[in-house]
Structure formats: C-alpha cells, structure tokens
Chains A and B, each alone.
Chain A
Amino acid sequence: MGKPKVAIYDFTGCEGCELQIVNCEEELLDIIANIELVYWREAATISPDGKTPVDCDIALVEGGITTPHDIERIRKIRLKSKILVACGSCASFGGINALKNDLPLDEMKHLVYGDMAQHFETIPAAPMRNYVKVDYELPGCPMVKAEFLKFFKWLLLGKDKWELPRYSVCIECKRKENLCVYDKGMLCLGPVTRAGCGANCPSFGAPCEGCRGLVPEPNVNAALDVLTEHGLSLEDAINNLKMFCNAEKPVATLHTWTKK
C-alpha cells in the first residue's frame, strides 16, 4: 500500500485544532514523511486547481457547521474521503459555536451587522455527525495533542479498537494527585466531562470548563445540584454547562430562564 492520502479541511472554528497539528513540532516531520498530504489550505499551496474536496484516505476536519454552505461542503468531502475524523469540539459535538443557538439568529445578525444583516447566512451551530457519518471524533478545545498523535499512529499502524476514555476528568485529576479545584473554592465541571486531557486545567489551578464534552450518560441534574450547592445561581450553573456543550442533548434542552 502506498502512503495514505491525508486532507485537512476547516469549517467554522478558530483554527486552534489545526494549530495543534502544527504544534506537534517534533513529530510533524515524521508524520509528513509517512503520509501524502493532498490538501491543507493553511499550510501549503498544493492542490493546484484548488477545488475542494479531493480524493483522500483520511480527512481531518476542524470546525463546525454554521451555514447552509457548510452542509453541502461536508457532504461532498464525505463522498471523497474513506475515513472522516472530526478534530476538536466544534466538529465533534458543537463546542463553543453552539453558544449562539440560544439566541434568535435574526436578531443576532442585526446586533452584529446592522442594516447589512441580510447579506449573511447562518443556521444553528451543529457538529459534523448531525449531517454525515463521522468515523472518529477527537474532542477538546483545542483537541489534545497527545491524543491526536496516539490516534494518528493507531490509524496508520494499529490493530485493536480505538476508543476515547469513557470516564470523567476527575479520575485523571485524582491520578495526578492534584488538589481538587472545589477545595480551592472554585467550581469545576470535571465530574461530568470526558477525560483524555490529563486534567489539563485543574493541573494549572483552573477549573475544568468541560471543553471535551460530556461523559457518556452524564448526570446533568446532579452536576447542576453540585454547582448550585456551591453557591452558583442556577442560571450561571447552566451557563457553565452550556459553554462547550450547548449542542449536546442533555444541555441544549436546559434553559437559563426556566427557574429563577
């Protein structure tokens, strides 16, 4: 088999996940030696006719769906790609983009663009899986470098099944023997957030904000109880959960105005 053809595409996002790929400085040259990069707008003037998408074995997709044009484009990319990988939280489960979903979109366009609002199209932010089959998801805002490298190596060589951790950030935090963020008087989403980042934020004295999305079968009500017991208003507790997870079902249905 020849080198696998890899294409990297970006949708609506901050390009932080693509930057994480570039940030694999030490490993990047090795990776590049083992693949054929067929499309990466941000890093190279390749794909001479410039028409996306191109035929590839592996498509790495960053960012989420936020316009009708995005839907069309990801469907075309899917047809051309053997394996489609959602990179980062925007692509995997909606991420920060979905914060806008609670607001009336027309009103928002006017707020930002005034009279020119009619020139810009927008739809509720959604992850790739809402529109196409996604083979793998690498959550994280940004996606975690170590996890990406491990996954990519597995993809090129691996045999066993690939699986994301199904437990919470708390488990990793305990393993690292961090002082629990709650004991420092801060509020943390570690208990309901999917592990895999090595409890990055609590290790730096910061609360987990849930950037990797919810654990499978999260107990959202219990999380809200814990946050409100620690003094947060229900509104802010919901605000906290919505920061990254507003396109995930158990959170999308919460409304900050339900109870006051």
Chain B
Amino acid sequence: MVEVYIPYLTRIEGHGNIVVKEKEGKIECRWEIPEAPRFYEAMLRGKPWDKVAHITSRICGICSAGHTLASIKATEDAFGIKPSEQTWLLRILLNYGEYIQSHSLHAFFLALPDFVGAPSVIHLIPSHKEAVLAAVRLKKLGNDIADLIGGRAVHPCSAFVGGFGRIPTENELLALKAKLQKGQQDIHIMVDVFASLRKSLPNFERKTEFISLYWKNEYPWIDGDIVSSESGVIPYREYLKFVHEWVKPYSSAKRAKNVFSSYAVGPLARVNNNFKQLLDSAKETAEKLSLKTPSYNPFHSNLARIVELVHCIDDAIAKIDKLLAKGLKEEKLNVTPRAGRGVGAVEVPRGILFHDYTYNETGHISNANLVIPTNQNHENIEDDIRAWVPTLIKQKLSDEQIGFNLSMLVRSYDPCVSCSTHLIKVNFKRE
C-alpha cells in the first residue's frame, strides 16, 4: 500500500481536504469541507433591514462587496425600490473594484506560483519582478476603487439600500481614472505572462453544466436573469428551479445540482455563457490566451479571470466617463420597508450568489436563504477529481505529483471557503 499525505493544501481561501483512495483499481474520491459552520441564515432572523447588508458582508472578506450588493438588491427587490442610474453606475464600479482586487489576488498571487512551480509569489520576486510589481499595483487598484466608492476595501460601509452614503467628487473620480489607465498597461504585462504560460495548463476536460447570470444589455455583474448552458434562462426570482441544494455528512458546506450530478459557476461559466457581451478588448484577450468558448477545461478559469480583468478595467473607465458626463449629485435615500420576499442575484468573482429574504411589515427578516458560489462548485470539484484521477494514475505519476495536480485543480476554482471551508489536505492512499 502506498500512502501519500499532503496536508493543508494552501493558497485557497478556506479549509478543505481532498481524499483519494485507490484499492485494487477502485477509486474513491472526496472533497471534504470541515469548516466550522457559521449559521448566517439563522443569525439574520429578526434583524432590521438597514443592518442586513453589513451583517452578511462578513460572510467573506474577499467577496464582501458582492455580498453587500446581493443583500442590498434583495432588500430593494422586497421593498420595490429602484435605484437611480448614478447609484447603479457607482455599484458597478464598486463591483469592479472587488473583481480587480480578487481576480488579481487569485491569478497572480495564488495561481501563478503553481504554473511557474514556485511555492509562493514571494519566491517569484527574483525571476518575475516586473510582473510581481504589476500584480501588486493591480491589486491595489482594486482596493483603491473600493476605498473610494465603498468607503473601505474590506466590508464596504457606504453602500446602502437605496443609494450611497457618500458620492465621490469629480476630482476623486478623475484621479481614479488615471490609476485605471495605468492599470490598462499593467494588465497587459500580465496577459503576456499568462499567454507564455498557457501551455503549462493541464489538458483536462469534462463536460459540465455552467450556470451564471445573463443580461441582455451588458456583461452581467449585478443585473439580469439566470442562464444554464443546458436548460436556458429563468427569471432570477425562480433560482431554486436550477439550484437544488443538499448536504453531505463530511462537508459542513452545502452542495448544489441541477441537470447533471453537479454544475459549475464562476469566471469560466460567465465567460462561456456570456462571451458575446464582453468588450472587444476582452474578446481579443481571450484570443491571445487561446481561450475558446465553450471550454470544459476547469483550468481555463485562470484564463477567464484575465479576460474579465481586462473587461473590468476598460469598462470601469467607461463608467467613470459616464458619471462625469452626467454630473455627480447628492441623492436622498428614501426607504419604506414593507412585508414580502426579495431576491438579489449577483455575480461575485467566484460565481453566482443569491440572497433571498422574506421581511415582515416592520422590515425585519423572518426568513433568509443564502446560496454561495463556492458551495455550488463543491460537487463539481468532486466530480472533476473523480474524472481526472484515473488518467493521472494511468500517466504513472508519483503520488506527490497527483497530489500537486489535484490541489491545482481545486485552486483553479478559487474556492473561497470561509463561507464554507480552510485548509485543503490531500490524503491519497493506494492499496
């Protein structure tokens, strides 16, 4: 019996263990998530509407703007509030701040070391100094946007139901635009780095279902309905028709399925489902990176993130121009709570996120359902592992190499598991 134990798969957000056992040709694979359960849904009961977004933002530091936006949208949906165009533009900017921050962190700090074969980004400084500095600047650019628009890089404080607590000034937006223009140069350094490493991505494909938002007007971030690559479009309020959640004993995180035993959400799902809506510059980036849609290779998520980064940076400039052209104004926040249900469906960096609240007449939550992207991906990750392990074994890789490949696979989903998980252990046994 051979036994390999690679505990603590690092460089993911959250704890998770990969368990692979091989005995007489029979292979058993599990993706375990032993993270402490956090009970946000239960904690929300009885909470007043004006605190809900700031409570749920604490589900995840990295996706805190996304949770805030999903929460605000669910509450506005319940109360029948339509935000102004200025509010919408500022929200898109806040969203771009989070994407630029999160995608840069993942692509350059967490994934790149894998492709180069280095233990961490710190070890890349001697060989890739230019790229590391560009990556640091890009990440900071994301935070600068969130700081200005949301009032804080982690857990934004100024985005409310109905609008914003503070509207940025024209000069602040102009300064931000200049930083974004610098970001346009930096992202192209990164595109080149990834184009040169493209061939080191493993060649593994598995047909799966992709679920994301779809919006007729633009690439969908915080608007639109829900599309499945296998079963078409449904209105966002009916998300439960696609999202069937269930619980596995070895995983405190819930899982979800629809047409097949699992489905995928995230950058690859978004790009696959909405390629046409990308800006031309982002489409050109996809071509440079040889990303052809639909792609069934989970490692291509790394390429999809770069494509989205180009879109976010370029479109953030367009949105700032629009705000400046319209002129910024203070807006009064008018919110009247009412009883009813509301759903906020938002794309966060790791995939589609749902907040679903039912309010009573005084504006207190009587019921909440939160469906987090990583939870929707768990079963898909497990199915990937199951499909790939036989090939890896056939290639006569060492246990260590198999462990490395599998951790890379899991990391390509960027599983931010604090909402559900922390360490990934690879526990690989051959008998």
Q: Which residues on A are within 8 Å of B, measured CB to CB?
A: 10-20, 22-23, 25-26, 28-29, 32, 37, 40-47, 49-52, 66-67, 69-70, 95-97, 99-100, 103, 107-109, 111-114, 116, 119-120, 122, 141-142, 200-201, 203-206, 209, 211, 236, 239-240, 243, 256
Flag whether B37 is at the interface (Cβ < 8 A): yes
Chain B residues bordering chain A, tally (CB within 8 A): 66
Q: List 25 A-B contacts (CB under 8 A).
A: A13-B61, A15-B416, A20-B61, A29-B125, A42-B10, A42-B13, A43-B11, A44-B11, A49-B7, A50-B425, A96-B58, A103-B45, A111-B39, A112-B41, A113-B252, A113-B254, A116-B247, A116-B248, A141-B155, A200-B151, A204-B150, A204-B158, A205-B164, A206-B166, A243-B54
Instruction: Name the residue of chain A whose CB is nearest to the CB of B37.
Output: A120
B183 CB to closest chain A CB (Å) equals 13
**Contacts A32-B122, A44-B122 hold; do A50 and B7 have CB atoms under 8 A apart?**
yes
**Contacts A19-B61, A42-B13 hold; do A204 and B165 have CB atoms under 8 A apart?**
yes
B39 close to A44 (CB less than 8 A): no
CA distance A50 to B424 in the complex (A): 10
Flag whether B6 is at the interface (Cβ < 8 A): yes
Residues of A within 8 A of B254 (CB): 113
B247 close to A15 (CB less than 8 A): no
| B10: contacting residue among A16, A20, A41, A206, CB under 8 A | A41
CA distance A175 to B284 in the complex (A): 50
Known interface pairs A15-B61, A204-B150, A205-B158; 12 further A-B residue pairs with C-beta atoms within 8 A, sorted by A's residue number? A13-B61, A14-B64, A16-B61, A19-B61, A25-B140, A96-B58, A113-B252, A142-B154, A200-B151, A200-B157, A204-B157, A209-B54
Encode B238-282 as 1/0 by CB contact (under 8 A) with A.
000000000111101010000000000000000000000000000
B154 close to A108 (CB less than 8 A): no
Residues of A within 8 A of B152 (CB): 142, 200-201, 204
B39 close to A108 (CB less than 8 A): yes
Flag whether B390 is at the interface (Cβ < 8 A): no
CA distance A32 to B125 in the complex (A): 12
Residues of B within 8 A of A95 (CB): 58
CA distance A153 to B154 in the complex (A): 22
Flag whether B423 is at the interface (Cβ < 8 A): yes
Residues of B within 8 A of A239 (CB): 46-48, 51
Flag whether B62 is at the interface (Cβ < 8 A): yes
B249 close to A16 (CB less than 8 A): no
B36 close to A19 (CB less than 8 A): no
A113 close to B37 (CB less than 8 A): yes
CA distance A179 to B152 in the complex (A): 19
**Contacts A25-B140, A205-B166 hold; do A122 and B54 have CB atoms under 8 A apart?**
no
CA distance A49 to B6 in the complex (A): 8
Q: Which of B13, B42, B48, B137: most chain A CB closer than 10 A? A: B42
Residues of A within 8 A of B143 (CB): 23, 25
B371 CB to closest chain A CB (Å) equals 12
A198 CB to closest chain B CB (Å) equals 11
A17 close to B42 (CB less than 8 A): no
B418 close to A15 (CB less than 8 A): yes
B421 CB to closest chain A CB (Å) equals 11
Q: Which of B10, B48, B119, B419: most chain A CB closer than 10 A? A: B10
Residues of A within 8 A of B150 (CB): 204
**Contacts A10-B422, A204-B151 hold; do A25 and B136 have CB atoms under 8 A apart?**
yes
Residues of B within 8 A of A66 (CB): 36, 38
CA distance A11 to B422 in the complex (A): 9
Flag whether B105 is at the interface (Cβ < 8 A): yes
CA distance A239 to B362 in the complex (A): 14
**Contacts A14-B61, A116-B249 hold; do A205 and B165 have CB atoms under 8 A apart?**
yes
Residues of A within 8 A of B140 (CB): 25-26
B423 CB to closest chain A CB (Å) equals 6
CA distance A238 to B125 in the complex (A): 50
B282 CB to closest chain A CB (Å) equals 25
| B119: contacting residue among A18, A44, A97, CB under 8 A | A44
A51 close to B46 (CB less than 8 A): no
Residues of B within 8 A of A240 (CB): 51
Residues of B within 8 A of A114 (CB): 247
Encode B3-16 as 1/0 by CB contact (under 8 A) with A.
00011101111100
A181 CB to closest chain B CB (Å) equals 9
B307 CB to closest chain A CB (Å) equals 23
Instruction: Name the residue of chain A whose CB is nearest to the CB of B163.
Output: A205
| B62: contacting residue among A10, A19, A44, A50, CB under 8 A | A19
Residues of A within 8 A of B103 (CB): none
B404 CB to closest chain A CB (Å) equals 10
Residues of A within 8 A of B176 (CB): none
Residues of A within 8 A of B59 (CB): 14
Residues of A within 8 A of B64 (CB): 14, 16
A206 CB to closest chain B CB (Å) equals 4
A227 CB to closest chain B CB (Å) equals 12
Q: Which of A12, A17, A41: most chain B CB closer than 10 A? A: A41
A108 close to B61 (CB less than 8 A): no
CA distance A25 to B138 in the complex (A): 10
**Contacts A41-B422, A99-B43 hold; do A206 and B51 have CB atoms under 8 A apart?**
no
A14 close to B58 (CB less than 8 A): yes
Instruction: Name the residue of chain A whose CB is nearest to the CB of B167.
Output: A205
Instruction: Name the residue of chain B whose CB is nearest to the CB of A46.
Output: B119
Residues of A within 8 A of B14 (CB): 15
| A43: contacting residue among B51, B120, B166, B416, CB under 8 A | B120
Residues of A within 8 A of B299 (CB): none
B53 CB to closest chain A CB (Å) equals 11
CA distance A18 to B158 in the complex (A): 22
